Structure 1
């Protein structure tokens, strides 16, 4: 629309205010025709059905959804046609808000009163005892789900059971005693035969039992070499663990095979080897000494929450 046509349309719109017979739809239709714009092209530009524009231009506002839609559509058409929307808006009906009826009473009753409204949420209509019981049940369930097991707490912070330690100690002592007695009973016989053949006298042949007596009477003489042999055998692995208190260790080789998984008490030792790299986990690093290839290995830099994890390559 040219400036002259727009000014003419605005002048006619202002004149329509003085002419009661002029309508908003007539002003919009006249402005569109003066701009040389087809109603279908205008509908395509606004992306609205042609029937709605026809209803607006023919002042059949009852065919439109509501007065707000009619005013918005008219304002958009004025903006496209570059027409002053004020005269058109004055001719369109405004949004009417129905007044409150005088006979309607607004309830101000509180939900805390005995006669509370049943439109309140279910949570507020439940008895307090039920709400408290449900809350306690939820808290107890969460505590059971996230509480660590008693066995893990004992392993991490506690000492091994006394009966288990006593059973292990008695079994180890009995095994060591039986081995010592068996060796002491076998060793005097070759010693007695050798002495009898060398001396050829009855006095010298009677002396081997006297020499064998201290060996059988003092078990510590043979027990010490056994303990040393066991310690040397445990120290021959690629990684050796020596404990000062309850702990647990796990060693896995490069193929994923578990070479060692053991719960250990204080004063014990264990070793492991396998295909490198070895993945090592130490349950209580503060109670465990580690030797890697015969050298002391520091666990402190690798420890988190008293659990050390490292690899041997």
Structure 2
């Protein structure tokens, strides 16, 4: 398997695999990462990882300090905290009693305020009910008259506008009449019709150039040895193969197409007859893009 294809399968940079292959462990994060990467490579290549891991540096095992005191060691500060806790319980009991007295006093005062002024409230409500009944009749009448009075000025304000419009009509008609000579500006509009006449020439030249290249939504051509992988909209594998130098393949599957190119610097891509720049989507010389 090509090292670039292995890097794509493991989702790690090609430089990491090259460093592991060259035993250059200084550029890798730590020993744990080196051993994990080696195990992943062996699993991808379907080989036994034990001999390979035996040749790699071992990670130091952590050492645990022995505790000579044991589990029966006394807890420091427990004896000192006991008097404080007992005093806090005593203080908490007295505080709860005082809070209970305050709440009881507030409850008694609230009940007294609720029941004592009931007679005065009834007298005040009976005297206030008479004047309250009269304002509803006056308020709707005032409210009903207000829209009528407000509508009258609006109508009166709008009426003068139509009367003044006929007076301004002659001045408006004059610009319209004088604007009639501007009609010749619209007449030259048919001139752009000549532009579509040139379109058939471009369309006719397109098939001539398309005949020289392989047909298909996606065309890949290798300048030197490379590999490609294409999946269709359902995730099915439409193409996966190595390309020799000068070899071209085309793919016409259901878009969108997920494309992976192993060697972006040695592969040319054409999407619907137009060249596609792999440098903009390549990383570590592996290009990934989607054709919609």
| Higher relative contact order, chain-length normalized (CA < 8 Å, sep 6+) | 2
Asked if Structure 1 and Structure 2 have the same fold, meaning a TM-score greater than 0.5 normalized by the shorter chain, the answer is no
TM-score (norm 2): 0.29
Which has more radius of gyration? 1
